[in-house]
């Protein structure tokens, strides 16, 4: 028998006090009498009992007090030494969700569903929780990309486990974590893993391996890169798919992006890596999540078959057209083209206000807006509050001689055929800080880029109708680039990164054998068993003794 | 060991003996005795050695002539007029301060001394033996025999055996507390043949009426040593008083049924040397 609070046995010191209190008063006088019978009869007549030390009553009281003192010390029987805390390190990586197969058929798990390493681990945890001694605190660490700690009742812990593992690879070093936690002798560490995904098996604490056998090959997305030309709708998906060499994978893309029209995925098998490398052109249809899933028959591990990609929404689809007079027909066509590039937008009157994906200004004199995106063709811009002077002398047939070969807008385009019949005077073009000439002529710049705070603008010194620019192959490129540049994006965006659902190759490769045979490789370190509590029976015994004492 | 008879009591006793002639019953008893002695002079009962104080007229000179020793003649009537003192020596007689036994010893001394002076023969019964005293000069021997009594006899039957086996003649004075009615009844039954000469004498203590005072009190039974602790208050005092009254009535009833008179003598304080205090109520006359 052990005592949780042995110092409370000091309560037994009350026994001498009880004995002293149980003693009858010591009379100051003692009288020898020959009439004791008469005294006793008189006492009986008036209903009194002689005062005397009642041995039985005292012993009943003493035993009751002793039982209560012992109960307060919280005695226990059957106690066992051991750890007072159990930390369960559960490999919560996606590979634990792989469905086992036995003789070609899915094996039933402990529950109604198919058998997985996770289901077996969950059942094993439930067994241990049910069998653990009372008073042993349990912490559950679900380890995948990071360790998540759960504590609570058994039901809460099992509920926290959920029905399957997280769709993540194992990035927590189980061996190091188990070693660190096992340093405290009051703590027992128990690791459950499927020994897959390149895990280093812990050498400290208990270890249970729950891996299974898989008959068929597993296909899985092991690498994925999305190249985004936002604000343009074009996307390109580069993927690596783990799978058998003989059959090329097939992808199903849905959601915020869809395969571009007539797009066909191209696949190449890399025998050294054992993966298929593929590329697919997509088109953004909306902002949100784009799911990329391996199409085809189900394989043991579904977690690596699907990756969800966040796709940013297309820019504001409204293309504003602001003309001083009759709008240039070429500018209208350009506005229509930009609206289409912006993801199915529309061309609206620029005077209507609101946010525009891009505002096209044709001729006239305008005040610089505080921000936004703007492309002016033959328009003059003045600052707010500045006096508007008359236009300078237009330049006649300025000869385009060069363009900025490094700027994102004009890099790699051919403007050698550009012919401009008339252009604004050089002094009518913006100048100063934030102004970058892009196309040069013999009489000054023909196109400048302006960056002023939140404002990004392109100012062409000529109207589209006064040039052959709409007819040049470079024009569509300029339109696309102008849209990207005005949104502050220069070049393609790689949206690869740590994507939701993308697993490590080791996690998906079920063809490799597990690092250990399944089973309890090392038992859980002994847990402290406080034993059965005797406090309540002792209290009941004390009450019984006191009850008997009432009648004694 | 202290004596029950201190010097003041001995002086008191001498005074009582000296006044024995003035006792109320003196004339009747003496006359009766003389008549009986004269009438029965020829009924010789035996001799005893002469002791100082014996009447010279009762010396058997013929015996003296034969044995050169002085003997006095005893007659049967004289034997019958002797006094037998039976003092209860059970532990219950230790009760009281001074003890009831001491009171009994003093009462027996008073009665015995007067009897020696007037009748001449007193026998003091002790368990297993009888001390016979004759003549007024044997008062010291009487006191000595009474002084030997100790309240340590647990078997009252032994005393009765002595009393009955000796076939003692004369008046039997049984001095006891009569606290145990059963024992009293048994004693009276055994002495039934002698009931005409039997007289009970109960030396009364104050506690035979009421407990002394309130407060916590440990009562110890003189016979068994049993101890009872109780708190004495007016209610208990009244109840005990009623029980003691019942006991007294029971004693009277037992003696009445046996046809034996019972005298209650309230013991005066031990230091009292007043003859009136010791002989108050004329109890000695009735003895």
Cα–Cα–Cα angle for A25, A31, A32, nearest 5°?
130
In a mutagenesis test of the B interface, which of A22, A23, A34 is the best target, namely the one with the most B β-carbons within 10 Å?
Answer: A34
- Distance between CA atoms of A455 and A435, rounded to whole angstroms? 11
| Confidence check: pLDDT of A303 > 50 | yes
- The reply to whether B63 falls in a domain is no
Chain B, residues 148-187, CB within 8 A of chain A, namely: 177, 179
Give per-residue pLDDT as tens, A217-255: 788 888 888 888 878 888 888 898 988 888 888 889 988
Q: Between chains, do B216 and A52 touch, taking CB under 8 Å as contact?
A: no
Which of A173-182, B122-131, B224-233, B276-285 is least confident?
B276-285
pLDDT bracket for residue B34 (50, 70, 90): very low
| Confidence check: pLDDT of B43 > 70 | no
- Provide the b/e sequence for A223-259 (b: ≥16 CB within 10 Å): bbebbbbbbbbbbbbebbbbbeeeeebebebeebbbb
The pair of structure tokens assigned to A223 is 């690498």
Domain of B271, in residue numbers? 7-43+78-286
- Distance between CA atoms of B58 and B80, rounded to whole angstroms? 17
pLDDT bracket for residue A88 (50, 70, 90): very high
Q: Which of B92, B221, B230 sits opposite A51 (nearest CB)?
A: B230
Q: What is the pLDDT of residue A70?
A: 94
* Chain B residues inside the 8 Å CB shell of A40: 228
- Give the three-state DSSP class for A151: strand
Mean pLDDT of chain B: 81
- Distance between CA atoms of A403 and A469, rounded to whole angstroms? 14
| Confidence check: pLDDT of A320 > 50 | yes
Average pLDDT over residues B22-28: 50
pLDDT bracket for residue B31 (50, 70, 90): very low
| Topology alike, domains A220-314+493-505 and A318-381+392-486 | no
pLDDT bracket for residue A377 (50, 70, 90): very high
Residue of chain B with shortest Cα separation from A47: B236
Mean pLDDT of chain A: 86
- Give the three-state DSSP class for B215: strand
Q: What is the pLDDT of residue B26?
A: 44
* Chain A residues inside the 8 Å CB shell of B208: 35
- Distance between CA atoms of A218 and A220, rounded to whole angstroms? 6
CB B204 within 8 A of CB B265: yes
| Confidence check: pLDDT of A266 > 90 | no
Q: What is the pLDDT of residue B35?
A: 43
| Confidence check: pLDDT of A102 > 60 | no
pLDDT bracket for residue A69 (50, 70, 90): very high
Which of A22-36, A319-333, B77-91, B184-198 is least confident?
B77-91
Average pLDDT over residues A194-219: 83
Where is pLDDT greater, at A208 or A108?
A208
Q: What is the pLDDT of residue B27?
A: 46
| Confidence check: pLDDT of A104 > 70 | no
What CATH class has A85-215+510-522? alpha beta
- What count of CB pairs under 8 Å joins A to B? 96
Provide the ipTM.
0.81
Q: What is the pLDDT of residue A11?
A: 92
- The reply to whether B268 falls in a domain is yes
Q: What is the pLDDT of residue B214?
A: 75
Q: What is the pLDDT of residue B36?
A: 44
In a mutagenesis test of the A interface, which of B221, B222, B267 is the best target, namely the one with the most A β-carbons within 10 Å?
Answer: B221
Handedness of CA B99, B103, B104, B105 (dihedral sign): positive
Beta-strand relationship, A75-77 and A2-3: antiparallel
Chain B, residues 98-117, CB within 8 A of chain A, namely: 100
Q: What is the pLDDT of residue A499?
A: 61
Handedness of CA A125, A128, A130, A134 (dihedral sign): negative
Q: Which of B215, B222, B228 sits opposite A40 (nearest CB)?
A: B228
**Residues β-bridged to residue B9:** none
Average pLDDT over residues B157-177: 79
- The reply to whether B66 falls in a domain is no
What interhelical angle do A154-161 and A117-131 show, nearest 10?
Answer: 170
pLDDT bracket for residue A438 (50, 70, 90): very high
| Confidence check: pLDDT of B45 > 80 | no
- Does residue B89 sit at the A interface (CB-CB below 8 Å)? no
Q: From residue A487, how far is each of A230, A231, A316, A452, A490 by CA, in Å?
A: 9, 7, 10, 13, 9
Instruction: Compute the nearest-CA separation of A41 from chain B (Å).
Output: 7
Closest residue by Cα to residue A77 from A549, A458, A534, A544: A534
Q: What residue spans define the domains of chain A?
A: 2-24+36-79+533-551, 85-215+510-522, 220-314+493-505, 318-381+392-486
- The reply to whether B13 falls in a domain is yes
pLDDT bracket for residue B167 (50, 70, 90): low
Q: What is the pLDDT of residue B187?
A: 87
How many CB atoms lie under 10 A from the CB of residue A35? 24
Compute the residue count for chain A.
Answer: 552
- The reply to whether B71 falls in a domain is no
Chain B, residues 196-235, CB within 8 A of chain A, namely: 207-208, 212, 215-224, 226-231, 235
Question: What's the CATH architecture for A220-314+493-505?
Answer: Sandwich (2.60)
| Confidence check: pLDDT of A17 > 50 | yes
Q: Which residues, 6 or more positions from B124, have their beta carbon under 8 angstroms from its beta carbon?
A: B85, B87, B108, B112, B130, B131, B133, B142, B145, B146
- The reply to whether B263 falls in a domain is yes
Average pLDDT over residues A331-338: 87
The pair of structure tokens assigned to A329 is 């027909």
Q: What is the pLDDT of residue B129?
A: 81
* Chain B residues inside the 8 Å CB shell of A46: 235-236, 239
Q: Which of B215, B221, B229 sits opposite A33 (nearest CB)?
A: B221
- The reply to whether B68 falls in a domain is no
- The reply to whether B188 falls in a domain is yes
pLDDT bracket for residue A112 (50, 70, 90): low
Q: What would the CATH number be for the domain defined by A318-381+392-486?
A: 3.40.50.880
* Chain A residues inside the 8 Å CB shell of B221: 33-34, 36
| Number of domains chain B contains | 1
Give per-residue pLDDT as tens, A401-411: 999 999 989 99
Q: Between chains, do A45 and B243 touch, taking CB under 8 Å as contact?
A: yes
pLDDT bracket for residue B39 (50, 70, 90): very low
């Amino acid at each position: 028998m052990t005592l949780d609070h042995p110092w409370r046995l000091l309560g037994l010191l009350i026994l001498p006090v009880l004995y002293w209190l149980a003693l009858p008063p010591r009379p100051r006088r003692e009288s020898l009498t020959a009439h004791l019978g008469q005294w006793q009869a008189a006492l009986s007549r008036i209903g009194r009992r002689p005062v005397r030390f009642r041995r039985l009553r005292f012993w009943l009281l003493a035993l009751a007090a002793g039982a209560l003192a012992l109960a307060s010390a919280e005695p226990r029987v059957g106690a066992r030494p051991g750890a007072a805390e159990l930390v369960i390190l559960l490999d919560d990586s996606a590979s634990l969700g792989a469905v086992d197969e036995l003789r070609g058929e899915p094996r039933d798990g402990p529950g109604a569903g198919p058998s997985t390493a996770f289901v077996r681990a969950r059942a094993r945890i439930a067994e241990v929780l049910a069998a653990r001694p009372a008073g042993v605190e349990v912490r559950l660490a679900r380890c995948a990309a990071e360790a998540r700690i759960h504590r609570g009742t058994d039901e809460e812990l099992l509920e926290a486990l959920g029905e399957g593992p997280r769709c993540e690879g194992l990035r927590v070093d189980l061996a190091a974590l188990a070693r660190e936690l096992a340093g405290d002798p009051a703590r027992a560490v128990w690791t459950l893993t499927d020994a897959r995904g390149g895990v280093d098996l812990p050498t400290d604490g208990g270890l249970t391996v729950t891996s299974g056998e898989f008959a068929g090959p597993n296909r899985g997305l092991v690498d994925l890169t999305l190249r985004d030309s936002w604000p343009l709708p074009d996307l390109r998906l580069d993927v690596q798919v783990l799978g058998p060499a003989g059959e090329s994978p097939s992808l199903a893309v849905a959601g915020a992006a869809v395969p571009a029209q007539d797009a066909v995925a191209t696949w190449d098998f890399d025998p050294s890596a054992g993966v298929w490398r593929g590329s697919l052109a997509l088109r953004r249809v909306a902002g949100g999540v784009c799911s990329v899933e391996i199409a085809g028959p189900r394989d043991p591990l579904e977690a690596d078959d699907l990756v969800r990609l966040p796709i940013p929404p297309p820019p504001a689809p409204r293309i504003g057209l602001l003309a001083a007079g009759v709008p240039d027909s070429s500018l209208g066509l350009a506005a229509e083209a930009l609206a289409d590039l912006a993801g199915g937008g529309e061309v609206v009157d620029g005077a209507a206000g609101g946010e525009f994906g891009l505002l096209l200004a044709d001729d006239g004199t305008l005040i610089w807006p505080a921000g936004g995106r703007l492309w002016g063709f033959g328009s003059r811009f003045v600052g707010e509050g500045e006096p508007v002077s008359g236009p300078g002398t237009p330049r006649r047939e300025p000869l385009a001689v060069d363009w900025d070969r490094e700027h994102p807008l004009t890099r790699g385009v051919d403007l050698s055929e550009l012919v401009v019949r008339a252009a604004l005077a050089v002094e009518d073009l913006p100048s100063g800080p934030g102004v970058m000439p892009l196309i040069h002529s013999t009489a000054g710049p023909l196109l400048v880029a302006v960056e002023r705070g939140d404002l990004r603008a392109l100012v062409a010194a000529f109207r589209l109708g006064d040039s052959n620019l709409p007819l040049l192959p470079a024009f569509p490129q300029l339109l696309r680039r102008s849209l990207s540049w005005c949104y502050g994006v220069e070049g393609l965006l790689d949206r690869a990164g740590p994507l939701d659902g993308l697993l490590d190759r080791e996690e998906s490769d079920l063809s490799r054998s597990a690092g250990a045979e399944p089973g309890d490789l090392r038992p859980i370190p002994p847990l402290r068993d406080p034993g059965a509590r005797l406090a309540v029976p002792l209290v009941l015994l004390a009450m019984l003794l006191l009850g008997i004492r009432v009648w004694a | 060991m202290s004596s029950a008879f201190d010097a003041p009591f001995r002086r008191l006793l001498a005074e009582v003996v000296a006044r024995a002639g003035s006792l109320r019953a003196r004339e009747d008893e003496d006359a009766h005795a003389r008549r009986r002695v004269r009438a029965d002079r020829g009924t010789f009962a035996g001799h005893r050695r002469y002791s100082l104080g014996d009447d010279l007229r009762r010396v058997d000179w013929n015996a003296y002539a034969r044995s050169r020793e002085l003997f006095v003649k005893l007659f049967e009537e004289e034997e019958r007029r002797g006094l037998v003192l039976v003092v209860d020596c059970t532990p219950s007689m230790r009760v009281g301060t001074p003890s009831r036994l001491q009171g009994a010893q003093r009462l027996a001394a008073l009665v015995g001394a007067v009897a020696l002076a007037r009748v001449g023969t007193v026998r003091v019964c002790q368990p297993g033996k009888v001390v016979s005293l004759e003549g007024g000069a044997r008062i010291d021997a009487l006191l000595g025999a009474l002084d030997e009594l100790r309240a340590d006899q647990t078997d009252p039957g032994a005393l009765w055996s002595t009393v009955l086996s000796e076939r003692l003649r004369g008046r039997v004075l049984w001095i006891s507390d009569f606290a145990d009615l059963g024992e009293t009844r048994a004693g009276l039954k055994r002495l039934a043949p002698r009931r005409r000469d039997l007289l009970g004498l109960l030396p009364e203590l104050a506690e035979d009426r009421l407990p002394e005072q309130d407060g916590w009190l440990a009562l110890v039974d003189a016979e068994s040593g049993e101890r009872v602790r109780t708190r004495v208050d007016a209610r208990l005092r009244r109840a005990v008083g009623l029980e003691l009254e019942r006991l007294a009535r029971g004693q009277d009833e037992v003696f009445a049924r046996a046809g034996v008179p019972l005298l209650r003598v309230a013991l005066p304080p031990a230091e009292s040397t007043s003859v009136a205090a010791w002989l108050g109520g004329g109890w000695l006359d009735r003895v």
